[in-house]
Amino acid sequence: MPAVEHEALDPHRHSPSTRASVHTVYHVTAMSEALKAHSKGISQMGQSTTSFRMADVPMAADRTAGWAFFREHGDVFESNGTYFLVSADAVQFAHRHPEIFTSGPAFESLGSPVPLVPLAIDPPDHLRFRKVLDPMLAPRVINTMEDELRAQVRELIQAFAGRGECDIVTDLARLYPTQVFLTLFGMPLADRDMFIGWVEALVEQSTAESGREPTAEVVETAMALFGYLQRFIERKRAEPGADLLSKILAVRGEDAWTDEQILGLCFLFTLAGLDTVTATIGFVMMHLAKNPEVRQRLVDDPAMVGPTIEEILRLELPAPYTPRVTSQEVEVAGVVIPAGSMVQLCLGTANRDPRRYERPNEIGAELGDRGHLSFGGGIHRCLGSHLARRELRLVVEEFHRVIPDYEIAPGVEPEIVWPSGTHHLISLPLRFTPAEVKA
Ligand code: HEM
């Protein structure tokens, strides 16, 4: 597929309302900013009630200490008007009651003119979108993409295998999920680096000091990404293919989507489907580098790849909080939460609830698939979980097929960016015996 022309959105070509909408759409990227604001709440709460600041939570180097610090405040606690659901029971109660713990209002504060489909959509409309999307991201559909996705990850590993060293984040984890997204939407792989540049500029802004006005450059970046997605929708309408975007455009009748809804979905996928997988690849490779015995077990027995990835994802999740707003007063774990309250579902603490998990802070792959909430739960359960799991499995399989033995570069102690509403490593330098990728 020839590359699409990418001139930035021409202000003369697009009405002031489009520029304005792009400006506000840009705010969509601030999902983690909303979380940051709430974590700011914690620091205020910390300051005002328990004298701890979010920055003081020992999360950067070790999430075990970080989540234990969180758990000390009880199964449900309030900070600066925001309620945090900490226990697995409390989080799953909220998942079972989307009519009480609503998503729409939780994302409303971002002021996006395009609906964040389906994340910010509440019942009954939400089901209409999932009915169309779920079959398009089902395992049997992902199976048809596997050979292509495996070939792509082999090629990326080939690029550094002979060097004996790499940075997993920059050489693999940043690149692969974007390629998979472009493949899924039928967009040219040649646009990968440009796409990464756009998304990272927006994410960088969203994790910058909250309240910092977006620079002209960032707004232009958002307009370029928005413009690219809009033009691609027009292009797919004219030249449909076998990709997800063409399939959605082919939906007719009462289930048909508006262009705004399709744009909202594309934008959400760029936010929800790239950084999350990038972060998880980093965490999986970090834990396998730090735990040679866990690594050797999956090299010896490929059937352990899945359970090992699940356990690391249980302990290290890129999206550890999900926001909701209560539609009515509700009591959870003895705490009364007023109607209209902002609530954060703490998936990170729920995943380590000692009432649910034996040795909750350890990788217990040998204990089989003991489940976790890293993909959320209830009606908003992650739409891309099958694809994400496939990406992670292919990365682990292909990396260990070529490089079964490696270590973190001497003197490096990987840390996550902290405080932040999302968890991810900035870099992960590895050392290994130079290798040749076998066909
Ligand atoms: C390891 C990778 C991933 C993790 C940990 C993750 C995590 C999550 C979580 C926790 C939610 C629930 C949010 C909430 O309840 O408010 C969610 C929703 C969602 N995710 Fe993912 N995600 C991942 C990968 C992906 C990928 C690859 C895609 C797209 C291809 C994707 C698309 C979505 C969408 C569209 C939703 C909204 C679903 C709905 O509201 O019905 N995610 N994800």
Q: pLDDT tens-digit profile of 173-191? A: 999 999 999 999 999 999 9
Q: pLDDT value at position 4?
A: 36
Rounded Cα distance, 316 and 314, in Å: 6
Q: Is the pLDDT of residue 206 over 90?
A: no
Q: pLDDT value at position 49?
A: 66
Residue 337 CA to ligand 1 centre (angstroms):
26
Mutate to test the pocket of ligand 1, among 103, 263, 382 (most ligand atoms within 8 A of CB): 382
Kindly state the tokens that stand for 134: 């779920």
Q: pLDDT value at position 150?
A: 98
Residue 377 CA to ligand 1 centre (angstroms):
10
CB 351 within 8 A of CB 322: no
Angstrom distances, CA of residue 262 to CA of 115, 132, 190, 191, 266:
9, 12, 23, 20, 6
Burial class (CB in 10 A: 0-12, 13-18, 19+), 174: buried
Interacting residues of 288 by C-beta distance below 8 A, sequence separation 6+: 294, 295, 298, 308, 312, 396
Query: From atom 21 of ligand 1, which residue's Cα is the shortest distance away?
Result: 382
Helices (H), 162-215: 168, 176-184, 192-207
Query: Exposed e or buried b for every residue in 358-374, given b needs 16+ CB within 10 A?
Result: eebeebbbeeeeeebbb
Residue 388 CA to ligand 1 centre (angstroms):
9
Residue 197 CA to ligand 1 centre (angstroms):
21
| Cα–Cα nearest to 342, from 357, 321, 324, 367 | 324
Q: pLDDT value at position 48?
A: 53
DSSP 291-318: -HHHHHHHHH-GGGHHHHHHHHHHHS-S
Q: pLDDT value at position 51?
A: 78
What's the mean pLDDT in 128-134?
A: 96
| pLDDT bucket at 221, cuts 50 / 70 / 90 | confident
| Cα–Cα nearest to 312, from 281, 275, 270, 266 | 281
103-112, 372-381, 428-437: which has the highest mean pLDDT? 372-381
Kindly state if the Cβ of 348 falls inside 6 Å of ligand 1.
Answer: no
| pLDDT bucket at 437, cuts 50 / 70 / 90 | low
DSSP 99-162: TTEESHHHHHTT--SS--TTTT--TTHHHHHHHHHGGGGSHHHHHHHHHHHHHHHHHHHHHHHT
Q: Which atom of ligand 1 is nearest to the CA of 103?
A: 16
Q: Give domain limits for the chain.
A: 25-431
Q: Which atom of ligand 1 is nearest to the CA of 120?
A: 40
Kindly state if the Cβ of 119 falls inside 6 Å of ligand 1.
Answer: yes
Rounded Cα distance, 340 and 104, in Å: 12
Kindly state if the Cβ of 247 falls inside 6 Å of ligand 1.
Answer: no
Q: Which atom of ligand 1 is nearest to the CA of 378?
A: 15
Residue 271 CA to ligand 1 centre (angstroms):
9
What's the mean pLDDT in 29-35?
A: 42
Q: pLDDT value at position 207?
A: 55
Q: What is the pTM of this model?
A: 0.89
Q: Which atom of ligand 1 is nearest to the CA of 387?
A: 27
| Cα–Cα nearest to 405, from 285, 294, 296, 282 | 296
What's the mean pLDDT in 16-39?
A: 43
Residue 385 CA to ligand 1 centre (angstroms):
7
Query: From atom 35 of ligand 1, which residue's Cα is the shortest distance away?
Result: 383
CB 353 within 8 A of CB 93: no
Unique residue bearing structure tokens 């292009």: 235
Residue 347 CA to ligand 1 centre (angstroms):
13
Helices (H), 239-291: 244-249, 259-272, 275-290
Helices 292-300/305-315 angle, 10° precision: 150
Residue 439 CA to ligand 1 centre (angstroms):
33
Averaged pLDDT of the chain: 87
Query: From atom 43 of ligand 1, which residue's Cα is the shortest distance away?
Result: 382
Kindly state the tokens that stand for 330: 């509700």
CB 280 within 8 A of CB 388: yes
Kindly state if the Cβ of 91 falls inside 6 Å of ligand 1.
Answer: no
Kindly state if the Cβ of 102 falls inside 6 Å of ligand 1.
Answer: no
Q: pLDDT tens-digit profile of 83-116? A: 999 999 999 999 999 999 999 999 876 777 889 9
More confident site: 69 or 20 = 69
Rounded to 5°, angle at Cα 316 from 199 and 123: 65
Query: From atom 7 of ligand 1, which residue's Cα is the shortest distance away?
Result: 375
| pLDDT bucket at 218, cuts 50 / 70 / 90 | confident
Residue 272 CA to ligand 1 centre (angstroms):
6
Q: Is the pLDDT of residue 374 over 50?
A: yes
Q: Is the pLDDT of residue 13 over 70?
A: no
CATH superfamily assigned to domain 25-431? Cytochrome P450 (1.10.630.10)
Percent of the chain having pLDDT more than 90?
73
CB 322 within 8 A of CB 376: yes
